[in-house]
Chains A and B, each alone.
Chain A
Amino acid sequence: MEQQESGTSRRAFLERLGAVGGTAMVMAAMDAWHVPTASAATAPPALTGAGKGKTIVILGAGHAGQVAAFELNKLGYRCIVLEARGFAGGRVQTARRGFTATELGGETQRCDFDPGEYLNIGPWRIPFHHRSTLHYTKQFGVPLETMVNDNDAAWMQHNDGSGALKGKRVRQYEVKTDLRGRVNELIAKAATSGQLDQQVRAEDRELFLDYLASSGRLKKDLAYRGSDLRGYVKPPGAGDQPGTIDDPYGLSDLLQSHLWRDFQVGEYTHPLTMFQPVGGMDQIAKAFEKRNAPMLRFNCEVQQIRQTDKAVTVNYVDTKTGKTASVTGDFCLCTIPLSVLRSIDTPFSDDFRAAMDDATYVPVGKIGLQMKRRFWEEDDGIYGGHVKLDHPAIRQISLPSNNFQGQKGTLLGAYLLFDGATEVSAMSLKERIDYALAAGEAVFPGSYRANFERGFSWFWHLAKYNLGGWANWTAEARKDSYPKLLNADGRIYLAGEHLSYLGGWQAGAIESAWQQIEKIHQRAQQA
């Protein structure tokens, strides 16, 4: 009982909801959990006028801070960006050879991947509809490549169900094709036996059946007996080798396997293909950094913010020298995550502060594994995409979309969220890697551990200047508290992914900055 309960997860929750309220209820819950959506703005605000003679103090050099500095500077404002870390980008970081990082309460890790190998420890994929992010990659000429976000050839393996498919390693295309075929067959038969006459107009019936038959690969008698879409047991080839298709799985086995729960990618939100910058996501941060260099001040940890009705003063400590200093500006744009900001000495009203406390942050982390050989490509023909598991914490293993057919490769052995993240992050660095290897070995027996060379793990709730992966707003907090933070407290404005409906996406940080600099600019023009 206790064991079972401690595994309670989003999925278990959705399962329970589904049992109680059906799919509609699950969908409603997923909606309330805010499955990320499109970006609303496609270009920075078209601002006119000049910022000459005015100083804007920007706190944080993540995307929100960098976008603000880049755009405000163009208008003639004097921008000073205070960044606690020794580099720009915030969450947009890529671990590669020589990269070092230290978690709170942890040892310093030094990435020793081979040259060319890397792991995006923060953001890793950009959907086509994040036009704000893509606005800057295009403007700065950051080369993009396809990120294979779904791969029907990738394995899936579940032990949590029952029936013939329990524990069996199967290809996603087999399961998808058979499910569609089996379900379409049932609906088609119901339609031809008059059971759907109420729901499907007589003049639509033929098209309806056509659709079911073609998408489900049904035979003339509307039965599903397998199809080439589910792959071959003996592949077709030259000469007299037509190929052999296996019998499809039965509906009951498919349902009882629980494998269908893993088909969540596709369509709009998490499109089948996304983008990734060639060489690592930090290329975007670096492109900004190059252009913003004169405005950026590193190793400046903000400790206190004060304001009058004329100016904002920010006191910070230089973490290299331990010396304190201060800067004063006409306005301040603060992009420090709320999880961190709440412990900084700020002049905010009680109401504003209470609103800040209403956001919680999601524990998130990643484990990257450098493999000596691309066995997933060479042995199994899987190029990118996600292998799906029902492991208690590791739900997918993501295969690299760069350097196909290269020698080595670095895969994302674990992308952990919520209690999976808290649990694994409490382990030692070595234990984390072992944990990830054990999960992968189950689906790539004989190859996973044998090819493992080096690992790197990183957890954002243990990152001193983040204290969490991204902000999480409940429906109530979104309604009551979130709008308050969109307004200035005196001369201080907030920005960042946490102030968007694109939480946990780079686009959210960028568009939030766009929105807030427009407000600052308008106010500065009036003064």
Chain B
Amino acid sequence: MKVAVTLFALLVAAPCAAQDVAAGEVLYKQKCAACHQPTGKGVKGAFPALAGDALVLGDPALLSRMLLVGKGGMPTFKRLMTDQQIADVLSFVRSSFGNSAAPVLPDVVAAMRATLPASGGPTGPLGN
């Protein structure tokens, strides 16, 4: 009985320790879709398309860096998302909109996060 429970726990926990594409889809809607659009096609001249994008399909470490650090209009999600969440959402993006690249593992995100300076949160807590 105890063995069965442990096994069950392992089975349930396993995908969670890696990446969870379904959770990633929910996160995509909340944090990405407004700009990159529900279709992942972006808006020309403003928000890059994620479908077929070289950075999206490329090195998972560099891709997670983009989410952690941001760039231009792309905000930093460093303080807003966990490693697991970033892995989930990137894995979703890499397997959607016609993309098919390997999932991003939370460990890769964690390793990239560890290389970044400690500061880098969003501006003042109140808004102006």
B45 touches A33 (CB 8 A): no
B117 touches A475 (CB 8 A): yes
As a 0/1 sequence over residues 357 to 390 of chain A, the CB contacts with chain B under 8 angstroms (1 = contact) are 1011111100000000000000000000000000
Stretch at the interface among B3-11, B28-36, B91-99: B28-36
Chain A residues whose CB sits within 8 angstroms of the CB of B32 once the complex forms:
422
Among A2, A29, A461, point to the contact of B34 (Cβ < 8 A).
A461
B70 at the interface (CB under 8 A from A): yes
A474 to B78 Cα, complex, angstroms: 11
B64 at the interface (CB under 8 A from A): no
A264 touches B125 (CB 8 A): yes
Among B37, B72, B82, B123, point to the contact of A5 (Cβ < 8 A).
B82
Do most interface residues of chain B lie in helix, strand or loop, or is the interface mixed?
loop
The minimal Cβ–Cβ distance linking B79 to chain A, given in whole angstroms, is: 5
Chain A residues whose CB sits within 8 angstroms of the CB of B55 once the complex forms:
none
Given A422-B30, A426-B33, A461-B35, A474–B125 Cβ distance below 8 Å?
A: no
A415 to B127 Cα, complex, angstroms: 8
B80 touches A419 (CB 8 A): yes
For chain B, give the interface size range. Answer: 35 or more
B71 at the interface (CB under 8 A from A): yes
As a 0/1 sequence over residues 37 to 59 of chain B, the CB contacts with chain A under 8 angstroms (1 = contact) are 11000010111000000000000
A336 to B79 Cα, complex, angstroms: 27
The minimal Cβ–Cβ distance linking A385 to chain B, given in whole angstroms, is: 14
B35 touches A33 (CB 8 A): no
A342 touches B72 (CB 8 A): yes
Given A415-B127, A426-B29, A359–B43 Cβ distance below 8 Å?
A: no
B127 touches A105 (CB 8 A): no
A93 at the interface (CB under 8 A from B): no
B73 touches A418 (CB 8 A): no
B72 touches A359 (CB 8 A): yes
A470 touches B126 (CB 8 A): no
B126 touches A362 (CB 8 A): no
Chain A residues whose CB sits within 8 angstroms of the CB of B20 once the complex forms:
2
A415 to B77 Cα, complex, angstroms: 19
Chain B residues whose CB sits within 8 angstroms of the CB of A418 once the complex forms:
75, 80, 122
As a 0/1 sequence over residues 104 to 133 of chain A, the CB contacts with chain B under 8 angstroms (1 = contact) are 110000000000000000010000000000
B115 at the interface (CB under 8 A from A): no
A339 at the interface (CB under 8 A from B): yes
A38 at the interface (CB under 8 A from B): no
Stretch at the interface among A9-17, A136-144, A488-496: A9-17
A216 to B117 Cα, complex, angstroms: 42
Among A30, A340, A419, A505, point to the contact of B125 (Cβ < 8 A).
A30
A467 touches B117 (CB 8 A): no
Query: Closest chain A residue to B79 by CB distance?
Result: A13
A476 at the interface (CB under 8 A from B): yes
B46 touches A467 (CB 8 A): yes
Query: Closest chain A residue to B121 by CB distance?
Result: A33
A8 at the interface (CB under 8 A from B): yes
A504 at the interface (CB under 8 A from B): yes
B35 touches A10 (CB 8 A): no
B81 at the interface (CB under 8 A from A): yes
Chain B residues whose CB sits within 8 angstroms of the CB of A426 once the complex forms:
29-30, 33-34, 38
The residues in B between 84 and 111 inclusive whose CB is less than 8 angstroms from any CB of A are 84-85
Query: Closest chain A residue to B38 by CB distance?
Result: A426
The minimal Cβ–Cβ distance linking B109 to chain A, given in whole angstroms, is: 13
Chain B residues whose CB sits within 8 angstroms of the CB of A5 once the complex forms:
82, 84-85
A36 touches B80 (CB 8 A): no
Chain A residues whose CB sits within 8 angstroms of the CB of B124 once the complex forms:
30, 33-36, 504
A265 to B26 Cα, complex, angstroms: 34
A423 at the interface (CB under 8 A from B): yes
The residues in A between 441 and 460 inclusive whose CB is less than 8 angstroms from any CB of B are 459
A8 touches B82 (CB 8 A): yes
Among A360, A425, A461, point to the contact of B71 (Cβ < 8 A).
A360
A90 at the interface (CB under 8 A from B): no
As a 0/1 sequence over residues 22 to 52 of chain A, the CB contacts with chain B under 8 angstroms (1 = contact) are 0000000110111110000000000000000
B123 touches A472 (CB 8 A): yes
Chain A residues whose CB sits within 8 angstroms of the CB of B81 once the complex forms:
8, 419
Q: Which residues of B pack against A, CB within 8 Å?
A: 20, 23, 26-27, 29-35, 37-38, 43, 45-47, 69-77, 79-82, 84-85, 117, 119-128
A–B Cβ pairs within 8 angstroms, 23 of them: A29-B121, A32-B121, A33-B124, A33-B125, A105-B35, A105-B37, A105-B43, A359-B72, A417-B127, A418-B75, A419-B31, A423-B31, A426-B29, A461-B34, A461-B75, A468-B73, A468-B75, A470-B128, A472-B122, A476-B119, A504-B123, A504-B124, A505-B128
User: Which 9 pairs of residues, A with B, have the shortest CB-CB distance?
Assistant: A360-B70, A467-B73, A474-B120, A339-B73, A426-B34, A475-B119, A425-B34, A504-B128, A35-B124
Q: Which residues of A pack against B, CB within 8 Å?
A: 2, 5-6, 8-11, 13-14, 29-30, 32-36, 104-105, 123, 264-265, 270, 338-340, 342-343, 356-357, 359-364, 415, 417-419, 422-423, 425-426, 459, 461-462, 464, 467-468, 470, 472, 474-476, 503-505
Extra inter-chain contacts (17) besides given A472-B122, A474-B120, CB under 8 Å: A10-B121, A29-B121, A30-B124, A104-B43, A105-B43, A123-B128, A339-B73, A357-B71, A422-B31, A422-B35, A423-B31, A459-B34, A467-B73, A470-B123, A472-B76, A474-B119, A476-B119
